[in-house]
Amino acid sequence: MIKVVCIGHNYAYEVKELLKLFYPPEEILISINDETVEAMVSIDEVIISSVNVIDEQIIVETEIQYNGKIEKIREVRNLMNCNVLHKRKVEKNLVKRGIFQLLEKVKKTYIPWGILIGIRPTKIVHELMEEGKPKEEILKILQEEYLIQQEKGQLLLSVAETEHPFIYPIDEDKISIYISIPFCPTRCIYCSFPSNPIKQWGHLKDDYVDALCKEIVETAKDFNHRGKIIETVYIGGGTPSTLNITQMEKLFNCLKDSFNLQTIKELTFEAGRPDTIDEEKLQFLLNNGVTRLSINPQSMNDCTLQTIGRNHSVEDIKKAYFLAEKVGFKNINMDLIIGLPGEDSSMVENTMKELLDLKPNNLTVHTLAVKKASQLKEEKESYRLEEEEEVIKMLKITQDYANKMGLKPYYMYRQKHMLGHLENIGFCKPGFEGIYNILIMEEKQTILAFGAGAVSKFVFPKENRLERVPNIKNLELYLERVDEMATRKKNYL
Ligand code: SF4
């Protein structure tokens, strides 16, 4: 167990998030200005983190006591002419740096992202680019200030450069739309999304599409006279391809009648599970303006597909992929997860070899995150998950194959509880970037979201402010309270 005593500051939340990289949450104790030794618990390490501000100087001292030894770090920064916000940011980073550097030494854990614990590390690079800093300086700041490894710094920089033209100049009149279809054939063991297995909940699909259309129509009434332009539409979930043709038709007609979709640059449709796809549906989607399709194998190993709770085979994935190509889709994304239960790096290599034959223009590689709402979290003991080193090897394999396939990283994000403290990366052939993915990650554009579990984001760039407006996740409650979902958004429009 570790105890951290914060003196002269109250960054307990940030400190706790950082400590989770080294300790399970239940082994972390944080106190403010209280160095009392706990009587009832056994503390292995104690850190004292103190901040002193003298004139324009911030002095941060960090001390760790472990195994009868003591180590210390002291950093001083002169912050003349800096505003309060900037001073606070520097102070917070210095506190995190002190703790990180001492723990890295004592615990000898591989933490490639340094003190960056947020989901969107590219945001920092965009900020530095906006300040006009050259590449070399940005890389130096990432390594020296945020203590991230060089290879991760280069990844961030290259992703931010690719994203830049899709985000800037910021235009408040452009928005995107997200539609949630929260049904799946079965629930995958790692899933924490709004997803309801068809067997139990499929009888509500018609009612759901009706409610969704109601929410769209009601919101559009208030939206359309505001002169906004729709840039991208993303239909995700769940598995939207669980809808039948009549339901899809209703949804697409409602969207076209409610919004002007003439201006959109991209319409993505997730047809994640091959057992929900047929030629008629694919043809319908192509005829109705879908430009980007996602078929998500997660793994190309039959035994893993069984383990994670899928009712289809690798052969089904290949058939669905070739069918989508035959119908005429040029931009097909495939999602993978590394670190799935029972998989080692040779199995990931097998997946990549299979994908090398398919040659998708888009590939998204996720690192498994054991999330609270998943079956995997509840039954973690029953599954074999690989150690950190093996997962790092897996990520490297996917990157090497992506390179062979001519794919470049174009967006990335991190999640809590990821194996190996790694990241998720979207790769694509140049010109096939998933624009919605970039926009949702960088949070520079308003996203109007519809359906159960969907979260709208209203962005106010001039105020550097973002408001999240979530819809109800529970399917039955959503159906009951759909009018309220439209009203919630209207309040922000
Ligand atoms: S397909 Fe996706 S949304 Fe559906 S259960 Fe699996 S992980 Fe969840």
Determine the atom of ligand 1 nearest the C-alpha atom of 186: 5
Q: Please tell me the distance between residue 193's alpha carbon and the centre of ligand 1 in angstroms.
A: 7
Give 368's DSSP letter: P
| Strand-by-strand arrangement of the 28-32 sheet | 28-32, 2-7, 45-54, 57-66, 69-78
Q: Please tell me the distance between residue 186's alpha carbon and the centre of ligand 1 in angstroms.
A: 8
Look at residue 40 in the predicted model and tell me its pLDDT: 65
pTM of the model: 0.93
Packed helices 135-144 and 150-167: angle between N→C axes, nearest 10 degrees: 130
Return d(Cα 408, Cα 278) in angstroms, integer: 30
Site to substitute for ligand 1 among 181, 186, 187, 424, most atoms within 8 A of C-beta: 187
> CB of 265 within 8 A of CB of 229?
no
- For residue 141, give both structure tokens: 């700041």
Return d(Cα 259, Cα 446) in angstroms, integer: 15
Q: Please tell me the distance between residue 250's alpha carbon and the centre of ligand 1 in angstroms.
A: 23
Look at residue 298 in the predicted model and tell me its pLDDT: 97
Look at residue 39 in the predicted model and tell me its pLDDT: 65
Task: Tell the residue nearest (CA) to atom 3 of ligand 1.
Answer: 238
Packed helices 482-492 and 205-223: angle between N→C axes, nearest 10 degrees: 20
Determine the atom of ligand 1 nearest the C-alpha atom of 184: 4
Please provide the size of the chain in residues: 493
Site to substitute for ligand 1 among 198, 239, 308, most atoms within 8 A of C-beta: 239
Low-confidence ranges of the chain (pLDDT < 50): none
Q: Residues enclosing ligand 1, CB less than 6 A? A: 184, 187-188, 191, 193, 195, 237-239, 272-273
Q: Please tell me the distance between residue 394's alpha carbon and the centre of ligand 1 in angstroms.
A: 22
Kind of pairing between the strands at 408-413 and 424-428: antiparallel
Q: Please tell me the distance between residue 429's alpha carbon and the centre of ligand 1 in angstroms.
A: 26
Look at residue 334 in the predicted model and tell me its pLDDT: 97
Task: Tell the residue nearest (CA) to atom 2 of ligand 1.
Answer: 238
Determine the atom of ligand 1 nearest the C-alpha atom of 237: 3
Site to substitute for ligand 1 among 181, 193, 340, most atoms within 8 A of C-beta: 193
- 90: helix, coil or strand? helix
Site to substitute for ligand 1 among 180, 186, 188, 243, most atoms within 8 A of C-beta: 188
Kind of pairing between the strands at 332-338 and 292-294: parallel
Return d(Cα 305, Cα 310) in angstroms, integer: 5
Closest CA to 120 of 491, 474, 443: 443
